Chain A
Amino acid sequence: MELLCPAGSMPALKAAIEYGADAVYVGLKDETNARHFAGLNLDQAGLSEAARYVHQHGKKLHVAINTFAHADTFENWRRAVDMAVKAGADVLILADMAVLAYAADRYPKVELHLSVQASATNAAAIEFYKQFGVSRVVLPRVLSMNQVRAIARTTDIELEVFAFGSLCIMAEGRCYLSSYMTGESPNTAGACSPAKYVRWDEAEDGTLESRLNNILIDRFAPDETAGYPTLCKGRFKVGDDTYHALEEPTSLNTLSLLPELYKEGIASLKIEGRQRSPAYVAQITQVWRQAIDAVMANPEQFAVQEQWDHVLAGLSEGSQTTLGAYHRKWK
């Protein structure tokens, strides 16, 4: 069972390797990946350096090229694939059928993984994507553990699941809420709730308002911790109630599911967070390394250590974690 960690920079990548990642995933500094944030990701030289470093340590480099190519700039996606292969990437994480077809045709020996952005939530969709030669599918975070189990037992393809990090509550790759509010979505621009549309206003009574493209996402009393205005995690009004109508600001944490995921033969556990700091990546990686080693050594006796939960809670949105859709009650 692989531990796959995020890196938005070389220091984060080095931290991931140092603390025990089996593989690291990165993106390029452009709109070809779904974490297209200012100051984040690698250029061509950085990508080559990343591949060298990872390979020196006997680990793998995955490159996410997982947005959907535009009609008039399709070349950019092709170039990203070429660049990643040339730099020595072990795996390409792709979502667009056109980019998948290009990579499969041009580089038949390079391992292709179906990005979560392709939104393959069922066995039939996975069958569909087999024609592109993908060897692994990253499952969206909308499935329950029962559904993950059902897929694991009906497909012969490797499965990767999200183990920890920001919780996307919508089927990824099919959520247009961000472009609805800002004009930019993960699919078209590689970002959800982009920072350039965020505004903070403080009222005289100390209330803090967060806005996205001028739309009020949340209001925080002076004693509340204010979180980033990811649009699906704001407090809105439904009927007479004001609450987190879609989702609380909380992080996904599947530590307690580890034995089940292991038992179902899940090939890889993915940690979300290419936008996070090297220190964050180091701490998260360390905890998950220990947990995976523990489950692999003795799955029957596995127990979540208090220390792990403590560290992960400290690194979570709103200091809260959830099993998300894996747990039926969440739904």
Chain B
Amino acid sequence: MKFSLGAIQYFWPKQVVENFYQQAADSAVDIVYLGETVCSKRRELKFDDYMGIAHMLREAGKQVCLSTMTLLEAPSELRELRKYCDNGEFLVEANDVGAIPYLQEHKVPFVAGAAINCYNQHTLRKLMSLGMSRWVMPVELSRDWLAKLLQQPMVHDVRDCFEVEVFALGHMPLAWSGRCFTARSENRPKDQCELVCINYPEGRPVSSQDGQQVFVLNGIQTQSGSRYNLVNQLPNMDGLVDVVRLSPQLVGTFDWLEKFRANVAGGAPQKLDKNDSNGYWLALAGLVQQLD
């Protein structure tokens, strides 16, 4: 089982990002996804900065994968997308199908991100025929769904030709909008957002009127209010999941990496926090935390 770091979902200052990846280089993580996947106005790091970090990580022995924007609307965003797809060195994670034709031009393999709607064996095979070498399962799917999909003969027969990756730690990306909710929370129009997301390096929590944290606002992205945490589910990923993804958090990411690594076979289970969830994996509502 390999471990990956997803692209940083929040808007962090450049120095914080660089420090984070320095830690990643020194950590036991296997795969690192890099790039801006949420909002094209976040430009603390430019494409060349990401490429610099990518080279540094590759030299540290990590597999690097450039991760692309999820909600692509403007022509300028497509031009930026093309840069990622044309990089010529690193694997690319397509978070929108719009990236796939660009990657096909180069006949390079790609990772199909969790926001690409692949729910069944036929779609999976279709994506493979286009070059997909790794599939990140949509966050809302369960272990049962994954097992049933992988059992289908048309997938089972080619199971050694692609990897399966599962989002396993962090606030899950649940929706993308034309509207910026962080700007809205400060009564600013999106056009004059002043990049306020940088003030919320862990997003802005949203609670119900009786105090339950339901969402986290992260610009145009809405995340789960709970932190998804599958650390204690790792033993039942055996034979199904090849790569386990941790989503970068401001603090504690690398501690959790060690906790995950220690519990691959179930030898070091962790006590979950009150705000941790594991419902999706267990075929329940996403926000549920089922005790073992």
Contact = CB atoms under 8 A, between A and B. Distances in A.
B143 interface: no
Interface in B161-214: 172, 174-181, 184-185, 189-191, 204-210, 212, 214
Contact of B189 (A70, A127, A128, A329): A329
Given A170-B222, A238-B206, A179 B121 contact: no
B81 interface: yes
A60 to B, nearest CB: 27
Chain A binding surface SS class:
mixed
B40 to A, nearest CB: 12
Given A121-B71, A147-B73, A246-B222, A170 B101 contact: no
Interface in A226-268: 232, 234-239, 241-242, 245-247
B189 to A, nearest CB: 6
Contact of A97 (B126, B141, B172, B191): B126
A85 interface: no
A187 interface: yes
A142 B214 CA distance: 22
Interface string A193-215: 00000000000000000000101
Contacts of B99: 124
Interface residues of A, number: 70
Contact of B177 (A127, A142, A150, A179): A142
Contacts of B172: 176, 180
B147 to A, nearest CB: 9
Given A96-B123, A102-B122, A122-B77, A217 B175 contact: no
B4 interface: no
Contacts of A241: 185
Nearest to B149: A71
Nearest to B180: A331
Interface stretch (B20-28, B112-120, B251-259): B112-120
Nearest to B99: A124
A169 B179 contact: yes
11 contacts: A70-B119, A71-B149, A96-B117, A122-B78, A125-B72, A180-B174, A181-B214, A232-B175, A235-B209, A245-B185, A245-B206
